[in-house]
Amino acid sequence: MAGQNHNEETQKDITNNGIEPVNQNEDENNSEEYDTLDSTLDELNTALDFLEQKNDNIHVQLQELLQSNIEIRQELQKEKTDTSANN
């Protein structure tokens, strides 16, 4: 009858608070799942950091290219103006 009392107490726990007690196996499985999820999130974070750095590098290169194009355009415009003034 001791087993029946335990079942009744467990049933009371479930009905009283709506939360079913967790057994040790479920707890260990959840812990393993959390560890796996944590590891996966760390890998994703590392990949995102790499992509962010690559994006930053591309942005710097594009800014340098833009500045170079502006300077070349200004030089060409100046040469064109100088040539027109000399003729």
**Per residue in 39-49, pLDDT tens?**
999 999 999 99
Q: Residue range 26-50: average pLDDT?
A: 94
Q: Residue range 21-40: average pLDDT?
A: 85
- Between the alpha carbon of residue 63 and those of residues 19, 49, 67, 73, 86, the distances in Å are 58, 21, 6, 15, 35
Q: Residue range 47-61: average pLDDT?
A: 99
Q: What pTM, to 2 d.p., does this model score?
A: 0.56
**Residue 15 pLDDT:** 56
Q: How confident is the model at residue 26 (pLDDT cuts 50, 70, 90)?
A: confident
